[in-house]
Amino acid sequence: MKSLSDTTGDYLTYEEDEKLRDHCGVVGVYLSDHETNASRLAYYGLQSLQHRGQESTGIAVSDGEKVEHYKKMGLVADVYNHETLAPLKGYIAIGHVLYSTSGHATIENAQPFVSRSKLGTLAVAHNGSLVNAEPMKEFLEETGSTFTSASDTEVIIKLIAKNYKKGLEKALTDTIQLIRGSFALAVMTEKTLIGARDPNGIRPLCLGKLPNGWILASESCAIDAMGGDLVRDIEPGEIVIINDDGVLSFNFGEKTARKNCIFEYVYFARPDSIMDNIHVLEARIRMGEVLARESGVAADVVIGVPDSGLGAAIGFSRASGIPYAMGLVKNKYIGRTFIAPTQEEREQMVFVKLNAIKYDVCGKRVVIIDDSIVRGTTARRLIQILRKAGAKEVHFRISSPPVKYPCYFGIDTPVRADLISATHDSAEICTAVGADSLAFISMEGMVEALESCEPERAVEHTEQNGSKKSEANDCCFCQGCFLGEYPMPMIGEIGKR
């Protein structure tokens, strides 16, 4: 790996494995009529959350008396089949897909975690990252707990289990008040399904209704896949307890400022999801519109990088009047298992994964939109691909601001030194990736785009900010990766990066 400070060489040669990673999706199902197919519904939900984690998956299910679970490394489609799902009979289920950010890719870290004691069984599926997992773990070890994984989710289940004798509600609120960081939780006992979201609402979690029950899911696209209807998002700092009495909701702790992760809208979430009242596709289209206004350029065609750059490309085209074209094809069948043992083969891999459509770009001035630049690898290779296909000019536009800081809340951003924008300005990045021009959306522009999707946001922003004028760095979104300002003080982690 070469140094990022070399702006002229071919330094952007990273292993695919080193890419910035998304992680984790959770689902929960409660069937009020006690039908026993909750695990099958969870499986449908996990299929549509596969984009949130491809390392391992698991489902825990309860028939009201006992909790069974099954987890394995691999993709949802490969892990479950008729034989593995058939024994998972019950009316309550939680499920998880994992892309680990704390800990490594081993079965020990796969979720849900299940804890059995004479008081009962608990299963926990978690999306997020705790910033005080280490001190909590030390505290638990000092009081007799042992750990089998590197996952901070094990800290959560051990804390709940430790307090379980106080009753479920108290155990949950006590635990949640001890942990710091981001968490969207689906928790299950023999007779109850529980959802909880951290006080800032950093990671998403929503509630859905089935004709015969309830759903919890990281994204509403999973509720759709399970045949349910989105009811609402779980609020920051809210716990919902679902059982035969329906959905009981209460808040834990003091009211804290909403800080939804902005990167969910930029990259993670599926475009068909509605997250915290914002349609993800609409957010991307609006970002593209703002980008066109801020950094327009004379060109013949606008194309987007599949999949997360497509919405912004549509918006850029609409706002600029430059025709939108497909421009690039992504091979759907290349997953993480694609083997590229040498650097040369890894370079080749991008050409296998993405190809330009000559018909759309040859002889043209092309604007290409991607949702983000992290290390710069993708941008550089895409520009090569477009030039090879005969593009006359290539103008790179990015629908999020420069990613300059690591994330401590669940997005596995590389160390700061590996983030190209931490050490290079736009002009330097433009030269390094070989574009004719390059521009990022501004921070204010991105917040404006998101707030325009939900006018309520702007009101909440103004209330949080205490002034009429919106300040981008004091809005309802966590923008830690762009500004280095986080929703809470970090414990122990910052020094490592």
The interface mask with ligand AMP, positions 317-356, x = CB under 6 A, is ----------------------------------------
Q: Please name the helix (run of DSSP H) or strand (run of DSSP E) that holds residue 304, with its range, or none.
A: strand 301-304
Which position among 24, 221, 453, 478 bears the catalytic label?
24
State yes or no: residue 154 binds ligand AMP (CB under 6 A). no
Q: Which of 353, 375, 395, 424 binds ligand AMP (CB under 6 A)?
A: 375
Which of 24-32, 311-319, 369-377, 482-490 is the region at the interface with ligand AMP (rule: CB under 6 A)?
A: 369-377
State yes or no: residue 404 binds ligand AMP (CB under 6 A). no
Binding-site size for ligand AMP (CB under 6 A) equals: 18
Identity (one letter) of the amino acid at 250?
A: F
Supply the minimum distance, in Å, between the C-beta of residue 14 and ligand AMP: 7
Residues 6+ apart with CB under 8 A from 61: 38, 39, 42, 67, 68, 69, 88, 89, 90, 92, 93
Tell me how far apart the alpha carbons of residues 489 and 163 are, in angstroms, rounded to a whole number: 26
Supply the minimum distance, in Å, between the C-beta of residue 400 and ligand AMP: 9
State yes or no: residue 304 binds ligand AMP (CB under 6 A). no
Q: Which of 121, 127, 149, 377 binds ligand AMP (CB under 6 A)?
A: 377
Tokens of 377: 């690898």
State yes or no: residue 54 binds ligand AMP (CB under 6 A). no
Which of 14-22, 62-70, 225-233, 243-251 is the region at the interface with ligand AMP (rule: CB under 6 A)?
A: 14-22
Q: Which of 274, 374, 391, 438 binds ligand AMP (CB under 6 A)?
A: 374
Supply the minimum distance, in Å, between the C-beta of residue 381 and ligand AMP: 8
CB nearer to ligand AMP: pick between 192 and 400: 400
Tell me how far apart the alpha carbons of residues 354 and 367 are, in angstroms, rounded to a whole number: 17
331-337: list long-range contacts, CB under 8 Å, 24+ apart: 331/355, 335/54, 335/75, 336/16, 336/54
SS3 of the chain: helix, strand, coil, percent, to 5? 35, 25, 40
Supply the minimum distance, in Å, between the C-beta of residue 20 and ligand AMP: 4
- Is 486 within 8 Å of 408 (Cβ atoms)? yes
Say whether 462 sits in a helix, a strand or coil: helix
Q: Is 311 exposed, middle or buried (0-12, 13-18, 19+ CB in 10 A)?
A: buried
Supply the minimum distance, in Å, between the C-beta of residue 450 and ligand AMP: 17
**Residue that has been written with the tokens 């990088």 in this structure:** 305
**Residue that has been written with the tokens 């997992």 in this structure:** 133
Residues 6+ apart with CB under 8 A from 496: none
Residues 6+ apart with CB under 8 A from 323: 300, 301, 302, 317
Query: 443-453 and 280-294 helices cross at what angle (nearest 10)?
Result: 140
Q: Is-catalytic flag, 24? A: yes
Q: Which stretches of 106-198 are DSSP H helices?
A: 133-142, 153-163, 168-178
- Residue 494: Cβ within 10 Å count: 14
State yes or no: residue 416 binds ligand AMP (CB under 6 A). no
Which of 101-109, 354-362, 365-373, 455-463 is the region at the interface with ligand AMP (rule: CB under 6 A)?
A: 365-373
CB nearer to ligand AMP: pick between 19 and 392: 19
State yes or no: residue 270 binds ligand AMP (CB under 6 A). no
Q: Which of 102, 129, 295, 378 binds ligand AMP (CB under 6 A)?
A: 378
Q: Which of 4, 20, 202, 280 binds ligand AMP (CB under 6 A)?
A: 20
Tell me how far apart the alpha carbons of residues 249 and 18 are, in angstroms, rounded to a whole number: 40
CB nearer to ligand AMP: pick between 104 and 330: 330
State yes or no: residue 22 binds ligand AMP (CB under 6 A). yes
Tokens of 317: 């085209």
CA atoms within a 13 Å half-sphere pointing along the CA-CB vector of 19: 14
CB nearer to ligand AMP: pick between 136 and 398: 398
Supply the minimum distance, in Å, between the C-beta of residue 424 and ligand AMP: 12
CB nearer to ligand AMP: pick between 209 and 416: 416
State yes or no: residue 308 binds ligand AMP (CB under 6 A). yes
Tell me how far apart the alpha carbons of residues 415 and 406 are, in angstroms, rounded to a whole number: 6
Q: Which of 154, 238, 264, 370 binds ligand AMP (CB under 6 A)?
A: 370
Supply the minimum distance, in Å, between the C-beta of residue 413 and ligand AMP: 8
Q: Which of 360, 371, 448, 493 binds ligand AMP (CB under 6 A)?
A: 371
State yes or no: residue 193 binds ligand AMP (CB under 6 A). no
Residues 6+ apart with CB under 8 A from 486: 408, 409, 478, 480
Which of 59-67, 278-286, 331-339, 377-385 is the region at the interface with ligand AMP (rule: CB under 6 A)?
A: 377-385
- Residue 229: Cβ within 10 Å count: 12
Q: Which of 267, 324, 408, 482 binds ligand AMP (CB under 6 A)?
A: 267
Supply the minimum distance, in Å, between the C-beta of residue 243 and ligand AMP: 36
Tokens of 389: 């296909």
Supply the minimum distance, in Å, between the C-beta of residue 361 and ligand AMP: 18
Residues known to be catalytic: 24
Which residues here bind ligand AMP, judged by CB under 6 A?
Answer: 19-22, 267, 305, 308, 370-379, 411
